[in-house]
Structure 1
Amino acid sequence: MELTYLQYFLRVAEMGSINRAAADLSLSQPALSRNIAALENEIGSPLFTRRRDGVTLTEAGRLLADRTRPLLSQFALIKEEVGQRAAGHLTIGLPQAWKNVFTISFIGDLVKQHPGVSVKIHDGVSNTLREYLAAGILDLCIMPFEPVTLNGYVQSPLVRESMIAIGDATAEFRPYNELPLTALDNARLVMPGRTNVLRQHAEQAFMRKGISMRMLIEPFTQDLCIECARGGLGIAITPASSVQGYANPESLSWAPLKGLYATWSLYENEARAHSEAVRAAKHLIMKRFSSPANLWFGAELVTVASTAKAGPSKSCSPRIRPELNPTARFASFKEEARCD
């Protein structure tokens, strides 16, 4: 019997609704219904009575709920004990775009300062990292901010950076000249698929402006987005971090998109918060994002109005720190460029 099926079953029983439970678990309603149906098939008896306003437990369902709760509590204790023995291991998810501005230096600092820690890195796009979070695979993860945090994780907003338009050298975009979204009306665009969180943010911004978003190519990775733009196949929209340290900067041009940003948060698995490896990695991350001097061009620190924890009622709202203004950063970069 799948442990996940039992966890889903209890959540539906607690909420009295498959739709509400699906939203709380970040699943689609059909997917959750299939899981419940599979459990009922394995048990050999209906567990819920379906009604228009929700579901109620059958006699078999009540018996299963009573027996399952203590078993899951015992499993959580076992998992915590095993986790304590594995305190020297860290599984972390990091954005592909951050390879040059953060990932390499962070991992280097972590293994030098904590030689007993072993690290498993999932370097991916936002939708892939979110799937890993939902599956409980990651101890820590940096991915786009979400108003409501996934169950079992604590969210701490870190940094906001500009989203940029990237073209080949002939596009003549300039980092110190912000580009209005209207300039990309009906342009051939390159971005990851619609399940990507940053793609969703971009589509919403274009829709608010009444701009046509013509998606030509949908690569899976940020690197391939940039390569498509460099080859003149279309205009890529990526976070500013993705072009920092790019090997052939003269072969492309880029400009920040006015009013379009990516806000990144640190997500911490509450079940692994006691781990020495997790605490050490979190300390390094928070130290890195404690000062504007540690950031890259187009990035600015954020603070949080309230902490986001598991559950639909918990949310957080990031705020930009006043000491770091993006307009000032672009102006400064412009002056530097003029002196080159």
Structure 2
Amino acid sequence: MVEQVGDRAAGQLSVGVPPSWQYLFTSRFVEKLIERYPNIALRVHEGVSHVLREDMHAGMLDLAIVPFEAASPNGYVNNALVREPLVLVSHKDAQLRPEKSVPLARLDKLKLALPGKPNVIRAHIENSLARKGFGFNNAFEVDAVNLSMDLARKGLSDTVTPCCAVSGNPQWEDSVSWSPIRGMFITWALCENTARSHSPAVGEGRRLITQVVAEVVQSGTWLGADLFSQTEWAAV
């Protein structure tokens, strides 16, 4: 039956994904979709979270992976997918370790390279530091994950990113050091344009996204990540 549905799935599918998901998720998702559903015309749009949300609400995307929001605009639904740690990334000599978390105080007055407002991670870090009475120093506004990571690698600044950007990623594992920030997490959701839910291409895209996310988390490659079940979706 699955093979028959796959054969029938056709049409346009436009998906938005954050840049931090590229290594662990995006390439695998695209490869599997092309292999299973050759009649789907896929468009992948990569962008920071607030840009993806704007594009989604403008009707440019069918599905988008964005930070979870409890109240969705009319015509859109959000289902929580996975929660993961936010991590501090620095140069190799900083000797941060994935298995040892650091307190939020470690970021006090630290020179950071983070996206500009209204980015969710930027706001979360800035607000959390303010509540604790710590100083926030965003030395560079960088809406590009690889650039902020490279600045950290060179010791020009540090950055905070979702764990998926560095966990198991050979591009960075030998050139930077990183640690989870204690108590700091981000919950990702799959946002869907309900006006497009009837499309077989959108339905198969939705199913494959949840499948690939589950496979990556269960493989253990995505450190600290926890899946949301269907029951948990209703309770979020």
Structures share fold, TM-score greater than 0.5: yes
User: What's 2:62 paired with?
Assistant: 139
Normalized per residue, which structure has more helix?
1
Does the CA contact (< 8 Å) of 1:288 and 1:294 recur in 2?
no
- Which letter does structure 2 place at the counterpart of 1:274? H
Equivalent AA in structure 1 for residue 71 of structure 2: V
Q: State the aligned residue count.
A: 225
Q: In the TM superposition, what is the alpha-carbon distance from 1:249 to its structure 2 partner? A: 2.3
Give the counterpart letter for 1:177 in structure 2. K
Question: Partners in 2 of 1:119 and 1:149 — Cα distance?
Answer: 25
C-alpha distance in 2 between matches for 1:248 and 1:206: 26
Partner of 1:215: 138
Rg comparison, structure with higher value: 1
Task: Read off the aligned partner of 2:122 and give its amino acid letter.
Answer: R
Structure 1 residues 246 and 196, CA gap change in structure 2 (3 angstroms): farther
Aligned-pair CA distance for 1:117: 0.6
Shift of 1:290: 4.3
Q: Structure 1 residue 234 and structure 2 residue 121: aligned?
A: no
The SS at the match of 1:151 is coil
Measured against aligned partners, the alpha-carbon deviations of 1:29-85 in whole angstroms (never above 9, x if no partner) come to: xxxxxxxxxxxxxxxxxxxxxxxxxxxxxxxxxxxxxxxxxxxxxxxxxxxxxxxxx
Structure 2 residue 98 is matched with structure 1 residue 175: yes
CA distance in 2, matches of 1:191, 1:305: 34
Cα drift, residue 198 of structure 1: 1.5
* Partner residue of 2:51 out of 120, 128, 135: 128
**Which position in structure 1 is the counterpart of 2:223?**
297
1:31-42, aligned counterparts within 5 Å?
none
TM-fit CA distance, 1:235? 1.0
| Residue pair 1:187, 1:213 contacting (<8 A) in 2 also | yes
Distance 1:306 1:173 in 2: 33
1:254 is matched with: 178
Distance 1:303 1:127 in 2: 25
Distance 1:297 1:256 in 2: 10
CA distance in 2, matches of 1:126, 1:141: 9
Q: Percent identity?
A: 38
Q: Which one has a larger percent strand, Structure 1 or Structure 2?
A: 2
The structure showing larger relative contact order (alpha-carbon pairs under 8 Å, at least 6 residues apart) is 2
> Compared with structure 1, are the counterparts of its residues 261 and 250 closer, same or farther at alpha carbon in structure 2 (3 Å cutoff)?
same
Write the distance in 1 (CA, Å) between the matches of 2:127 and 2:70: 15
1:267 aligns with 2:191: yes
The residue identity in structure 2 corresponding to 1:302 is F
User: Given that residues 186 and 213 in structure 1 are in contact (C-alpha distance below 8 angstroms), is that contact kept between their aligned partners in structure 2?
Assistant: yes
Quote the residue 2:40 is aligned against: 117
**Deviation of 1:207 (Å):** 2.1
Once the two structures are TM-superposed, the CA of residue 141 in structure 1 deviates from its matched residue by 0.4
Partner of 1:157: 80
2:124 to 201, 210, 219: 201
3-state SS of paired residue (1:89): strand
Q: Check conservation: 1:158, 1:264, Cα contact below 8 A.
A: yes
